Amino acid sequence: MRTRFESGLVPRYQPSHGGERQTLRRSMAQKIAAEIKDAVLTGEIPAGTKLNQLKLAEQFEVSTTPIREALRALEAQGLVRIDSFTGASVPIPTLDDMTSLYQIRLALCPLVSQSAAGRLTSEQLNRAEEANERLVAVEGGSEWVEANRDFHAALEESIGDSRLAALWQELSTVSTIYVSLSLPHRAEAQQGAHREHASLLEAYASGDVARVNLLLAEHLTNTFEGCKMAMKSRLREDSELAALPSRTRNAETE
């Protein structure tokens, strides 16, 4: 099945002149970054994948200049790693990285709760409810990840402090990588997330800061523990597979 990159969904970059050319290049770099970002977060581009600038330029039908700009933007978000010798790649998530990420998010919960509780608009509430219902309507995979992202994005828009909102959204985006990787090992995540989201929505809408803080911290903790168990299980499976004789290992992966 062809990916979004191969299906021609990205508009072709048309060179122009002077300032207009720079504006178009920046705009295209942003669109390319958004496409790659979505593919990384949903697992369409798996962790550890090398991102060849020439191949990406061919797929997007652009020069390598907007590709470089897109990759640098994604590096700043923690979604791409650029090495001067080996080039760009999608980082391989580690347990230490995930632990650090969720510790920071948990530490920010009181500030987020205070800034967001009671500020959810009816439009944001409706979008969050619709996204939460999609969680139980899909079977998992990238559609589940997208619905989960949409739910949290609607809540994040209610954060009143713009700097806090930007930081929280950035951390939430990186968290999506771990959620996506863990889904095959967390069959119960679908129903559990739906229930927790419904309780969160009620708390956000009520303006009860203490309850938002409590439920948000519980939700993050449950997600972290589930992702941690899934990551350990995945690492154990990889280790067991690596220990098998090559002939057996090849049969196991077919």
For β-strands 81-83 and 87-89, DSSP reports them as antiparallel
**What's residue 12's pLDDT?**
43
Share of the chain above pLDDT 90, in %: 57
Q: Looking at the domain that runs over 18-89, which CATH code has it been given?
A: 1.10.10.10
Residues of the chain with CATH 1.20.120.530: 95-241
Query: Does residue 5 surpass a pLDDT of 90?
Result: no
Which residues make beta-bridge pairs with 51? 88
pLDDT one-digit tens code per residue, 47-78:
889 999 999 999 999 999 999 999 999 999 88
Which residues make beta-bridge pairs with 91? none
Share of the chain above pLDDT 70, in %: 82
Question: In the β-sheet with 87-89, what is the strand arrangement from edge to edge?
Answer: 50-51, 87-89, 81-83
**What's residue 23's pLDDT?**
61
Query: Does residue 4 surpass a pLDDT of 60?
Result: no
> Do 183 and 145 touch, CB atoms closer than 8 A?
yes
pTM above 0.85, yes or no: no
Q: Among 90, 21, 16, 25, which Cα is nearest to 57's?
A: 25
Q: Looking at the domain that runs over 95-241, which CATH code has it been given?
A: 1.20.120.530
Residues of the chain with CATH 1.10.10.10: 18-89
